[in-house]
Each structure stands twice: as structure tokens, then as C-alpha cells.
Structure 1
């Protein structure tokens, strides 16, 4: 054999013969393996599919809430007073946190501690105490920059959740009326509380698939649709509310008063157009929501109304027919049960109109004793003293009007000029609105009305108009309420200055008021201003409260497009206008 042939044979590879038994055994084993895998796969996908899908879903599929928000609160013109804004909150699965980061010493965890407003040590102890819990809030209602930091950290077991936070654009101006919600979006004060069920939305539910970081990677189905809360449109006018807020706050600060309230009603509908309490607070700040400032004094606090009650004594006397507006009464001081009743300024006699204009205690005391108890109390009961207004405002007081069966002559006398019983500012405003509405009492409402409520006739139109005409003299140059005058409009009102009861008697602190109606020819608004314990040299209702009425009424009547009715002022304006035109024309 040649060397070349031997070389070719040497390079020829050794091969397993295809016909041998080893080859068939190898191929058989490989085929069986593939068949086993195929059979197993088919078994798992057909017979065990539901079981496996269930196990997979149990690890990754969850029911997730579809978060909805509360309805808006609007003023009568559609201006937003309360809205819900989307925010992020951070929570953690403590079990997962303890499993993955037992030491909690990383810099990222220190950053999370800062977000939770805790030191690193406190935060670690805080987590350890909650060991085994799968849901714990870390921080709620984060600002966008802070939630972005949490998202960047991407810490194991720490997640963000969508929520809504209540925001109040008008802040202090409507705080006492609108109220606020807590961190869980439940109404806690004001109309947020009163209409919580109406405003609250209903969260929905959907089935989603999550990844290892609990991020939604697939939305499978909606289990329950979310329902947004209903919007609530109030009766107040935010423009009037703002100017009333400024005027009352200025007066409270100027006279260094303890507190104050202002209530304005639409005489024809019973709607509240403005309602203010001082001091105020910012409902957007949790740290300012202190109990001593969040209470709405216009609904909650009651006081002895003093001389603002005298028009109702006069109304009872007119209804009983014992006097007429020009009936003259001896107003020299008089003694009842050993107690003298007298006036600040001496008047030998006054007619009934003069009794209101000069605010005579003796005059109304004598009117009261000219009537039976039932006749005397008639107007007081009819206008609603002793019962709440039915507004539905949380915590509204009914005041105090419990008259004993066998009361003394002096008790009857002092009640005639506003002592011995208590009313709230809203009760007094509703009472004056009855006079302005020609004796019709309409339910007081904080919600905008689309039609005029029918109301109930509680006083005669004749008597109501007579009392209004008498109260107009109070705001004249000779009356105690002249500072309540409004250029171009006829105003009717009554001042009040009452000593505060203390230790079974009366001290040196005062509450002062002005209650008024405008315009006299066709009443549109009734307003009450109440100031508690003014500390300045001016402490009478005509000095402290009446100017507030003038400032607020002047602008409000213009905003409400109420036509001026003071003819002499209108005439003077026309004369001045004509003079200016003549001068301009040479």
C-alpha cells in the first residue's frame, strides 16, 4: 500500500455505524425525552391550565380601587369654593421591607424618613414596631416634588397611591360656612360635614395585573364603576361674601373685639347671601384648624339681643291693637318689683315711633305691660325665637326662649328690651327678614333656590310695614343708627348694645349689634352684624356695627342691581349732573 493511500485512510474520521444497536438506543431515549416534555406541556396547558392560571393570578392579579373624588362646592354664580385635587400618598408593606432591607441604614431610607418627618432612628423603630403588617401609611398628600423623590428612590416595599385632597380657593373668606374635610376626605365641619353623603363619591373597583414592583401592567376588567360626588351650589354670593369679610374683620380689629358675625339674607327667598365669623382660619392648613376658631359663631353662639328685640315688642303691640304708631306713651322711669327701668336719655313722653327711634327701654316695657303674656310674646314666637332656623347647619343652636308661667313684672319688662332670652345671629337675621317680607317667614337656606319658597304668613303686612317705617327713623340723622345710612337707599334698622351676663349679674363687657333691612320701598336684603366685647372707646352698636352695615349694604345693593329708592338723593344727583353738563357746555 502506497504512502498516499495510507495517509488518506488516517485522515478519515471514525463514525458510529447507523445500523448498530447503540444508535437506535440513543435516538429512542432522545425521542422519549421530547415526547415526555410535549406530553407534560400538553398536560399542564390542558388539564392543569386553570390551576396554574389561578396560582399565577394569586401572585400578580389584584383588585384595585378606582379612586373618585368629592363633588365641588360652588357659590350661586358657579364660582368654586371647594374642589378636589389629585395627590400622591406613600405607603409601605412592612413585611417586604423587613425582608429585603433589615438594617434600614441606607441613605435612601434616610430620605424616606425625612418624608415621613422622622429621624432615621425613629423611622427604623417605627417600622420595627409595625412588623408583620402589609399596609402602613408613611406620608399622605405629598406635594408633586416630594412624590417624585419617592418614585425616584424605588425602594422595595414602598409604593405610591393616588388620592384626592380638598382645596379651598377662597380660604378664610368662606371657611366657617364651607368647613373642611379630614385627611381621609370626610367632612368634619361646616357644609362639608352637613352634606358629606351628598358630596362624597363612591370608589369603584377593577381587576389588574401587577409586576414585582406592584406596578400595574395590565387592566383586566372593571368590577364596579366609580361614582363621582355630586356638586353642591350654595346660596351665597362670593363677591358679597368677600366684601363682608373685609368689612367685619376691619371692624373687629379696629375695636379690638373678641369676635364678630355677619349674616345677610335675601328677604324674598330666605337664601343666605353672606355669612361671616371672626376670627377666621385657613381651611387649607391643618395647623390652623383649632376648635376655638373653627366654630361658626353665627349658628352656634347665642346672645341677649338687647335693643334689636324692641321692634318685635312694638310689632306685638300693633298686632294686639293696643297702640298705633302715633300713640303717645309716658316714658318717665318706672319701678317694677323694686327695680327701676329707665332710659339713658330722659324723655318725658314719646310716641311709638319715637320709642323705637330713641330706643326707649321704659317705652317698650310699658307696651309689654299693656298686653297679656300671650299677646306680648306673639311676635317673638312667630318670627322663630327659641327654635333653630332649619338650615341643617351642624351644631346650630336654638338659642334660649324659655318663659316661666309665673314670671314677674320686671322679667316681662326686661324681655321687652332684649334681656332674659338668647338668640343666634342667624335667628335674628331671619326675624328681620320676616319684617322685610311683609310678615312672611321663609325657611332659611344655604343652598341656591331655583324658585321662590311660598313661606308662611306669621305677621300682618300692615304691621310689618309700620315697624319698618318706624325703624327707618332710627337710621335718620336723629336716630341712633345714622351711621348705617347708604347713599341713594332708604334703610330701616335697629342698633343694640347689651351688657354681658356674668356671675349671676351683668358685667362691664358689651355685645353690640345692628340689624337692618334695605331698601325700605322694596326690601331685598336683611342683615345682622354682631360684635362681641369691643375694647375701643366706641362700644355702642351705632358706632361699631352700623358702619359695617353701611359699607356692606352699599356695595351689595349695587352688585344685586337693586334700584335706588331715596328720591331726594336721586334728585340731587340729577341736579348736580345738570350743573356739570351746563358748565361743560359753557
Structure 2
């Protein structure tokens, strides 16, 4: 009986034609020990036939042929062709972009890139004591151009229209294009309406930036006080300059992405944050200021004068409630920012004040007890002194010290002054602030002249007693007169709101002396004085006139006068000091009482109403009469 035979094929490794001997032996051993049977069920002896098998190249031993990929050579070739074409296309496109069409894509990239732009900050406002705006800001545009973007074939008509809207010759615009090829400012502070018309022209390369323009709602009324800013926004005069550090804004910068037409498409945040300016509030009262300006303007025009100035000071706090000059200008019109109208005459102009100085001479003599209000002084119209002759406008005869003030006697003031030492008078003048610039922060403030007392001769001491040989500004006079409104104390002046309780005055005269002198000042405005035109119905008024010749380098100019008046209202319970001066009035009425007295009265009447100061005497018709001269 033949023995059934089962053959097994053992696969070898990729590195050998036959499987290892140890592996074959283990297989035979395993199967000879088995009870497995063939088809006949007979016991069998296993026979293993090891057949040589060559492994395919690049196939690992553990990879089975059942899952091996079977890719045709044609399909592989097709895929490789397509991939080669794609890579070749990318290479050609890259070459085209980098070499052939490089400038086009650089321009496209530059049209949508990051830019650092300015962020305009708003300058602080200036307001009066009640919050009325005296200086503020309005939005405007600055027009600039990138000359590289201007088409060479730009329509000439558009350039002409652009020039017309900018108010510039077309040749000037093209010259700017040629001078700078990167960035040119065409015009600052263009109104929004004109800027919109420029934008509608659609000229490539023309751009706009938002900025601020300073606006002065009160125009010429407050011009010299408020001042103005320059084209860059910095203060150049008045409060704008004095408070520039506070009012001034600090522009910032931020990073943005612009599109090709200049529009911001994404804000990437601040680089440097903008800092707006701080608002400034003045002590100025807008209503009193308006009254002062109108009254002053009328006086200058009616007297055919060269100029005039007025200032209103709170006698207790030193706050400046009004400061006016005429002629004036509109600071909103930059073409007018030149000439003598810009001068803040209240602060800058110094002059010989004349008889306005007499109350100080008398006050010092009373304080030193050299005279009393009832002391008698002989005048007799002329008084020879050291080769010179001092005169009065009339023969007043024998006057009391109070009468010297009421009649404004030069001879009386001279004789009173000569009872004192030059050093005593000089110390008083300097204590009152004469010869020193007022501490207001204004540029160009006048200092005036008070010569050292050691160089005085008797004639100089005499003339200074009645306002010649010494020069002062109107603001210095108003400041000095606060001693009569504040019981002998000189209070510091302030353009800004001040707490009365914090004001510490400097004692110049005794309270008793200033009380006596206030009575003398009241007689000046009463019947028989030199300024009845300064009377204000319902209120007690006191003050002093001054009419002085105008000094030139060649001596005094005849028929050229400085007509002034400084008054206190109410004189019995002082509140305000008002000083008015008109330069070179023409005509028969050129005296301080005639020209400046009515200006004082008009300003004072408005101020009493605005400040709600109650009348201190019955309202009656003014006892007008022809005033005495001086």
C-alpha cells in the first residue's frame, strides 16, 4: 500500500534562494507529530519539499504579494508628464512676475501696504468766565499730492480747476510737482466744501488729510487779548501764546493699511497716542468785553483819534474782566495778521499819563503826614521852579489838598511833592508796579520808565508828581488804582479766574489814607470836577482825568494829546477799576473828561448790570456842566 504524500512549499527570504534549515526542520517536526490524516484516513509521514524561490527586487520579506500595488507603466508616465507641465508653468509664471511684469506688481503691492499716518489732536479751547467760547477748532483738510501718481496725460482743465479751488496759480502747482517727486503739501486749512470739490475732480495722486483750524467767534472784539495761532497750530500772540504749553495738543501716529485710492481699509492701532490740549478759562466777561469794545470804537471814531484802549479790573481779586483795543482785526482772516492793529495797546504801549498820577502823590503825602486833606495850597496859575515855569490851565487860587485833586492843579501837586524826598516818591512808584513789566505772561508787555531817584532834580520830581517824566502802560495804571478799591492794598492782576479769598494784596497806603483819597476822586466826577461825563446814574463814581502832550524824540508834539480817565465804581463800596485812554483825539474836545469819561460811563453801566451790583445812590439826572480843563 502506497503511502500518501503531502507536499509543502516553503518560501525563502529575499536574501536567500532557500529558507533557512532551522525553519524547515521546525516545520517537519511539527507536522510529523500531528495525527492529521490525508484523504484515505491513513497515517502518513510528511514529506517537505523545499522549492527554490527568487524574491522580487525592493520587496521586504514581510510584504505579501496579495496586497502589492500593481500600477501600469503607462499610467505612471502620464502622471509624470502632467506634474512636469505644472512645475514648468509655475516656473514660467514666477519668471514673468519677477522679471517681465515686475513694476506692475510692485505698484499693486505698494497700493495696499502699511502706512504710518498722523493723528491730529485738538487744541484746547479758550473760554470766558461764563464758559462762552472765545477760541475753538473746526475741521478742515490739508491737500497733498504724490507727484509720481499724477498721470502725464492729465487733462489741463482739471489742473486749472484744482488751482482755482486752491486759490493758487496752476504754474505754482506744477512747479511743486517738479521740485519734489515724493510728497508735496499743496495747501493747509482748506474748508470742507472746497475739499469735497477737489475730491470730485478724481485726479490720481491727490490726497487729503484731516486737520483743525482755529476759529475765533468774537472776531475783532477780543482779538488782541486772545491772540492767534500760526499755520502749524502753535500760539503766536496773546493768550494763545501765553498759554501755549497748556492749550497745545500733541499729535499722534497710528499704523493703517490703505488701498490703492488712499482709503484706510484697516486700522492696526496707535504707534504714539495723540494728546489733546487743555481748555483755558479766563476771568474775562464776554458781555463787559463787548461793551468796552463798542464804547471804545465809538470814541475813537467820533474824536477822529488814532487809537484807543480800555481795561476793566475787579478791584478785590485783580481779575481782568475786559481788555479792549481799537483799531482791531479779525484773527480768522490770516491776511490781516500784520500792522499796528495787532498791538495789544493796553499792555504794550507806554505813555506819560498826566494828571492821573496826582492821587498817588497826594496819598503818599497824606501817609507821611506832610499834609492833610484840608491843608491849603497857593496855586496862582504859574509857579517858577529852577529856571522852569509850572502852569495850570486856570487860576485856581488857594486850594485845599482835596481841591488840588478836584481841579487837577499842576502847581498844587508840585508843592505837595516837594514836601517829600525823591527816594520816598521813587519807592512808592516802584511799589505800585511802575517801571516793571506786569506779570501777565503777555509777550511784549511795556515796562515804562521811572528813573532812579538819585538822578532826580527838583523840576523832575515836580513834573513826575503830575504825570510827566514818567511813562506807564494803561494796564499798569489800572493795576495801581486797585489800591483805592482795596483799602490801600495792591492786588496782583490775573487773566484767569481767581478765588478772592486766596488773593493777598500788598499794603501801599493806609486804609485811612485811601478812604480820604476816594472822597477826593468822587469830587472829580461831581459838579465842579474835570469829568462829570463819567457819572453813572444810580452809582457813586470816583476817578481822575489825564490829558498829556504826546512825547516824541524831538520833544512834545503840540496839538497831539493822550486823553485818559481811570475810575472806580462804586467809589463808596468799590468793585471795579476801569481805565480808558484815547491816543491823539482831534478837535476842541480832546481832554480826558471829554473823550474818555463817557467811555468809562458806558462800560461801567453795563458792568454794574451784568455783575448785579446794587445801586448805592438815588438815580438822578447828571449835573452836567462844562468841565474844567485837564
1:74 to 127, 131, 144: 127
| Offset at residue 57 of structure 1 (A) | 8.5
Give 1:431's aligned residue: 480
Determine which of 419, 432, 436 is the counterpart of 1:370: 419
Q: Which residue of 1 aligns with 2:187?
A: 139
Cα distance in 1 for residues equivalent to 2:194 and 2:541: 56
Aligned to 2:556: 506
Q: Aligned equivalents of 2:306 and 2:334: distance in 1?
A: 23
Q: 1:122 to 1:104 in 2, by over 3 A?
A: farther
1:278 aligned onto 2:326: yes
2:514 corresponds to: 464
Is the deviation greater in 431-440 or in 475-484?
Answer: 431-440
- Other-structure match for 1:15: none
Q: Which residue of 2 aligns with 1:115?
A: 165
Deviations 1:45-103 (A, max 9, x none): xxxxxxxxxx9699610111111110000000000000011111111112333xx32x5
| Offset at residue 188 of structure 1 (A) | 1.0
Q: Do 2:405 and 2:524's aligned partners in 1 also have CA atoms closer than 8 Å?
A: yes
Cα distance between partner residues in 1 of 2:612 and 2:510: 28
1:25 to 77, 84, 89: 77
Superposition deviation, residue 36 in structure 1? 9.8
Please list, as runs of the form range in 1=range in 2, the aligned pairs for 1:418-457 lying within 5 A after superposition: 418-452=467-501, 453-457=503-507
SS for the counterpart of 2:454 is coil
Matches of residues 223-234 of structure 1 in structure 2 within 5 Å?
Answer: 223-234=271-282
- Work out whether residues 337 and 408 of structure 1, in 8 Å CA contact, stay in contact via their aligned partners in 2: no
Q: Is the 8 A contact 2:365 2:420 kept in 1?
A: yes
Stretches of structure 2 that go unaligned for 5 or more consecutive residues are 1-69, 92-107, 622-630
Partner of 1:381: 430
Aligned to 2:403: 354
2-structure distance, mates of 1:486, 1:548: 11
Once residues 463 and 33 of structure 1 are traced to their aligned partners in structure 2, the CA distance between those partners, rounded to angstroms, is 112
Residue by residue, what CA displacement relative to the aligned partner does 1:462-506 show, whole Å, maximum 9, x if unpaired? Answer: 111111111110010110011100101110100110011134421
Contact 1:320–1:375 (CA<8 Å) still a contact in 2? no
* Misfit runs of 4+, over 4 Å: 18-22, 31-39, 55-59
Q: State the alpha-carbon separation in 1 of the partners of residues 258 and 276 from structure 2.
A: 26
SS at match of 2:196: helix
Distance 2:401 2:317 in 1: 30
More helix by share: 1
TM-score under structure 1 normalisation? 0.87
The 1:389/1:19 distance shift into structure 2, 3 A limit, reads: closer
User: Does structure 1 residue 492 correspond to structure 2 residue 542?
Assistant: yes
2:114 to 56, 61, 72: 61
* Structure-2-length-normalised TM-score: 0.81
| Larger deviation, residues 198-207 vs 76-85 | 198-207
- Please tell me whether residue 520 in structure 1 is matched to residue 571 in structure 2: yes
Q: How does 1:12-411 map to 2 (within 5 A)?
A: 21-31=73-83, 60-97=113-150, 100-101=151-152, 104-128=154-178, 130-132=179-181, 134-332=182-380, 333-411=382-460
Q: Distance in 1 between matches of 2:154 and 2:352?
A: 63
- Segments of structure 1 that go 5 or more residues without pairing to the other structure are 1-17, 40-54, 573-586
Among 595, 598, 605, the alignment partner of 1:554 is 605
Change (3 A) 1:170 1:364: same
